[in-house]
Structure 1
Amino acid sequence: MAADDLEAALDGVIARFDLGEYEITAYLAVLQHGELTASEIAERTDIPQPRVYDTVRSLGDVGLVELKEARPMKVLAIDPREAFADFQASLDELVEDLSARYTAPAREPEAVSLVKSRPTILRYLEDIVDAAEYELQLSLTPALLARFEGALRRREDDGIATEILLSPAADAPDPDTFDYDAVATTVKGRRGITTPVVAVADGDYSMYATRESVRGDNDRYGVVFNRTELGFLVSAFLNTVLWTTAETIASDGSELPFPRRYGTIRRCISDLAALEGEFHATIEGRNVATGDDWVVEGRVGTVSFGPNRSVATLVVETEDGPVDVGGQVAAYEDIEAYEIRVGRDAPPGV
């Protein structure tokens, strides 16, 4: 669609939001560039500088852009497929043409982010799925499973170890009609609608969102922990509270390939406790007593869980004696593990 036709079609749609010429002009500018400051919008359009802030806040109020409160304030484009998702099917052609102009904004990662809009929460969820290098744990609704099925299939093909919890379990697809093995190594179902939406990539990049926020309800939120030690809070909650109160729906039952990498000690122990034979491990982490970086190599000795997986025990037999391995914020163990690598014949290289 030509630019003039696109602007005319968009003008008709925007009328439903009761927005004016300045809002239309600003929206197209942000959509094309992905991210602009107020000054940049004024430079690229004929909108007077004093009117820019009111203009972009109007766009933010109806969910067409995302405002990042900073100095200077940044205006980020929202994918039109999300912004116009509730419109009638007759608008599909317009939305696709807008999407062709969309340039994804370059986001500077923050350690902790509070997000409130449904499109932003879904974008972070997609980013976490794509960012996983070896381990992915998810708590999803059946609708979100359908939404991200293609991405999960690609991640499974990439060899990512994926665990998915679905709730409410009664709405989960029937294993006889849905190929769970194509999207995850293990899938569980949890009763009820109180289970939050959770995503953890490699044990540290994680997100917690209320179920209401994913539905688009007001006054709800999601919290994103981007490569920060605080991410263990989400991982620990998923492993000890949600995963242990769910029932298995499907498991691929295939023999696990080694060497393997783990971001969470509980998933490592869960795998090793169910397997026979000798294993060797390389642990990257830090000394619990001194805080110094520490790499531990040796044969895997004891692996076990306490009641409800609240206590996880992993002991590595090294040349200098046994080393107790703990997860993030470990206190009783010798080493706080950042990453665990396990092999059959020898400790895998770092």
Structure 2
Amino acid sequence: MPSDDLEAALDGVISRFNLGEYEISAYLAVLQHGELTASEIADRTDIPQPRVYDTVRSLGEVGLVELKESRPMKVIAIDPRESFGDIQESLDELVEDLSARYTAPAREPEAVSLVKSRPTILRYLEDIIDAAEYELLLSLTPSLLDRFEDTLRRRREDGIGTEILLSPAGDAPDPEMFDYDAVATTVKGRRGITTPVVAVADGNYSMYATRESVRGAPDRYGVIFNRSELGFLVSGFLNTVLWTTADTIATADTELPFPRRYGTIRRCISDLVALEGEFYATIEGRNVATGDSWVVEGRVGEVSFGPNREVATLVVETEDGPVDVGGQVAAYEDIEAYEIRVGRDAPPSA
């Protein structure tokens, strides 16, 4: 479609839907009753009597109602499928032409990106869900769970280990009515409406958004972190502050497949403390004392959580002795783990 025609088509669609408050009130009243006079519209809406005639004539000009010039004048409803039929066809054609001109923006954020647009926040949330290679931690509203259910199901089928926190818990779907196992390995509910929306993929690509920003409030914000050195802040907050103050809604009935990869030590320990048997680990990270890269392999000798998951202990028995494993920015342990691989029979290959 040529540029001039495209601009005209876009202007036509916008003007067709550019209804004011009075037009909307009058249109809905006529739709509900089928046929009304101007006086009846004024009685059933907040439209001042002197404005009714101009209002309904505007509706008639765009083909949403039919005006019967009688005494008194009658406003007759038109089936929306008829009045909007041509617009639907025009809109489909318009969207197709606009899509042909669309150039996808770069989706890679900076190390830290501040966003305030609700559509942009939701786009990054979906991008983080899609970006996960093995681990996904989410704090969502029940409505966001519904919005991204199909995507979460697909990621679960891809083998992504997923933990979801829902709040407010009172609005979460009933486990007997919703297949939580299809979207996550563990789902918890947290009381209250102030819980932020949080997403962490593989312990590094993450976001934090206020609840108000997801509802579209203009003075609120979301923050996107695209570096592991910063992503651990969001992951740690979700694990220690949010997750520990929530109650379990559902856990997967299926046995976890091994070998598995973990981006956060707390998720690894959370799985291992609930399972029996012997495990082996390969840890990629760096020496806490020297900063040198270090790969540790051996049998998992100890796993435990302190109160509120603030202290997480993972010890690997190696040929050179036990090695204490910590998460990102570890200080007291021997190694700061970037990635943890766990297997049943032997240390998984790095």
Q: Distance in 1 between matches of 2:195 and 2:331?
A: 29
Q: Distance in 2 between matches of 1:141 and 1:16?
A: 35
Q: Describe the SS at the equivalent of 1:144.
A: helix
Q: CA deviation at 1:272?
A: 0.6
On the 8 A contact 2:109/2:224 being kept in 1, the answer is no
**Matched residue type, 1:344:** R
The TM-score, its normalising length taken from structure 1, stands at 0.76
Tell whether 2:323 aligns with 1:323: yes
Q: Describe the SS at the equivalent of 2:256.
A: coil
Q: Distance in 2 between matches of 1:121 and 1:115?
A: 7
Q: Distance in 2 between matches of 1:348 and 1:153?
A: 27
Corresponding residue for residue 40 of structure 1: none
**Matched residue type, 1:229:** E
Per-residue Cα deviation, 1:226-250 (whole angstroms, up to 9, x for no partner)? 0331110000000001111111111
CA RMSD of aligned residues (A): 2.2
Unpaired stretches in structure 1, ≥5 consecutive residues: 19-87
Per-residue Cα deviation, 1:200-228 (whole angstroms, up to 9, x for no partner)? 00001100000000000011111111033
On the 8 A contact 1:156/1:182 being kept in 2, the answer is yes
Q: CA deviation at 1:323?
A: 0.3
Identity %: 84
Q: CA deviation at 1:109?
A: 3.4
* Equivalences for residues 162-177 of structure 1 within 5 A: 162-177=162-177
Q: Distance in 2 between matches of 1:220 and 1:195?
A: 14
Corresponding residue for residue 305 of structure 1: 305
Q: CA deviation at 1:95?
A: 7.2
**For the structure 1 residues 182 and 3, does the alpha-carbon distance in structure 2 shift closer, same or farther, using more than 3 Å as the test?**
farther
On the 8 A contact 1:10/1:94 being kept in 2, the answer is no
Q: CA deviation at 1:123?
A: 0.8
Unpaired stretches in structure 2, ≥5 consecutive residues: 19-83
Q: Distance in 2 between matches of 1:109 and 1:171?
A: 32
The TM-score, its normalising length taken from structure 2, stands at 0.76
Per-residue Cα deviation, 1:10-51 (whole angstroms, up to 9, x for no partner)? 113455999xxxxxxxxxxxxxxxxxxxxxxxxxxxxxxxxx
Tell whether 2:294 aligns with 1:290: no
**For the structure 1 residues 119 and 268, does the alpha-carbon distance in structure 2 shift closer, same or farther, using more than 3 Å as the test?**
same
* Equivalences for residues 114-129 of structure 1 within 5 A: 114-129=114-129
On the 8 A contact 2:9/2:94 being kept in 1, the answer is no
Q: CA deviation at 1:335?
A: 0.3
**Matched residue type, 2:347:** P
**For the structure 1 residues 16 and 264, does the alpha-carbon distance in structure 2 shift closer, same or farther, using more than 3 Å as the test?**
farther
Q: CA deviation at 1:251?
A: 1.1
On the 8 A contact 1:6/1:94 being kept in 2, the answer is no
**For the structure 1 residues 108 and 271, does the alpha-carbon distance in structure 2 shift closer, same or farther, using more than 3 Å as the test?**
closer
Q: Describe the SS at the equivalent of 2:151.
A: helix
Runs of 4+ in 1 over 4 A off after TM superposition: 1-6, 13-18, 88-92
Corresponding residue for residue 261 of structure 2: 261
Q: Distance in 1 between matches of 2:283 and 2:164?
A: 26
Range with bigger deviation, 99-108 or 179-188: 99-108
**For the structure 1 residues 319 and 95, does the alpha-carbon distance in structure 2 shift closer, same or farther, using more than 3 Å as the test?**
farther
Q: Describe the SS at the equivalent of 1:103.
A: coil
Q: CA deviation at 1:288?
A: 0.3
Corresponding residue for residue 113 of structure 2: 113
Q: CA deviation at 1:177?
A: 1.4
**For the structure 1 residues 6 and 268, does the alpha-carbon distance in structure 2 shift closer, same or farther, using more than 3 Å as the test?**
same
Q: CA deviation at 1:6?
A: 4.3
Q: Describe the SS at the equivalent of 2:269.
A: helix
On the 8 A contact 2:181/2:253 being kept in 1, the answer is no
Q: Describe the SS at the equivalent of 1:330.
A: coil
* Equivalences for residues 35-54 of structure 1 within 5 A: none
How many positions carry a matched residue from both structures? 281
Corresponding residue for residue 58 of structure 2: none
Tell whether 2:215 aligns with 1:201: no
Q: Describe the SS at the equivalent of 1:218.
A: coil
**For the structure 1 residues 336 and 251, does the alpha-carbon distance in structure 2 shift closer, same or farther, using more than 3 Å as the test?**
same
On the 8 A contact 1:9/1:94 being kept in 2, the answer is no
On the 8 A contact 1:197/1:210 being kept in 2, the answer is yes
Q: Distance in 2 between matches of 1:278 and 1:190?
A: 33
Per-residue Cα deviation, 1:95-126 (whole angstroms, up to 9, x for no partner)? 74344643321244311111111111111101
